[in-house]
Amino acid sequence: MADDLIITQQQPVPPATELDCIETNKVFDECLLRDCFTAPVIPGIDVDPSCITDITCSDFTITVAAPIIPTRRATDEPGFVRVSFTFIINYNLNISTRIGCTPIVVPGVPITRSVNNVLLYCPEPIAYILTQQGTNAAPTHLPNETIKLEFVGECIDIEFTPNPITPLITDITPVIGYYLIIKCEQVVQIQVLSRGYCVAPFCTSPTSDPCDEFNRRPIPSFFPAQMSPF
């Protein structure tokens, strides 16, 4: 097994040359929620079940209709908040079909899910911040408390059956799994080690001339190989 290992030599990272002060979003706390469930049936899809060869899901998004209001309780430790909110999952179904049938993309039924009583360390901002862009308007207040949501969804399984009333159309039942990260962030000023400003590489314009690729090929053999051992 040891002979199968490929050891690559990592290039040394140049040492930092500066100690810089930057402003950036700092994550004070975060947590991960994971869930898996059978989604509502999507009835009456206009495709014959006998035509279907595969069904996949794509374009997962979530929407939150109302502002997320963190709540602070006297019984919790200082700086901690409770977060609760409702969100809606949207996605598409991609239905592949055999030759002679038409593949289609249909939206899934929107799914409402809830997050309840999640505890996060979200200290209250200390500084009151004003910002001004340009010189045309006076400085305005910048709220410095961010709740960020990061979502990844997928279809774990998908069942499809003929519609019980109209057998030539299809009912689809997906099983959906998702990951949701909830973060509490604030803009802060911190020191970081750096190697100076970033240098932008030159822009490239890929060619579409197939002759360029042909001209870079090695010259091929013009005759077949001789019989061994010659």
The DSSP annotation for 86-113 comes to: EEEEEEEEEEEE-TTS--EEEEPPPEEE
Rounded distance between C-alpha atoms, residue 171 and residue 52, angstroms: 12
Phi, psi of 2 (to 5 degrees): -65, -30
Q: Output the pLDDT for position 9.
A: 65
pLDDT for residue 230 is more than 70: no
Instruction: Answer whether 85's CB lies under 8 Å from 65's CB.
Output: no
pLDDT for residue 4 is more than 80: no
3-state secondary structure of 118: strand
For 161-179, what is each residue's pLDDT tens digit?
999 999 999 999 999 999 9
- Positive or negative, the CA dihedral 48, 52, 57, 58 is negative
Instruction: Answer whether 105's CB lies under 8 Å from 97's CB.
Output: no
Residue with tokens 């308007």: 137
Six token digits for residue 53: 């060869």
Rounded distance between C-alpha atoms, residue 33 and residue 180, angstroms: 5
Q: Output the pLDDT for position 84.
A: 96
List of E strands, the chain: 18-38, 42-45, 52-63, 80-97, 104-107, 111-121, 130-131, 140-141, 146-162, 170-194
Phi, psi of 142 (to 5 degrees): -110, 105
Beta bridge partners, 102, equal none
Our measurement of the distance from residue 182's CA atom to the centroid of its chain's CA atoms, rounded to an integer in Å, reads 14
For 22-59, what is each residue's pLDDT tens digit?
999 999 999 999 999 999 999 999 999 999 999 999 99
Residue with tokens 């010659």: 230
pLDDT for residue 116 is more than 60: yes
Rounded distance between C-alpha atoms, residue 188 and residue 190, angstroms: 6
Look over the chain and give the mean of its residue pLDDT values, rounded to a whole number.
90
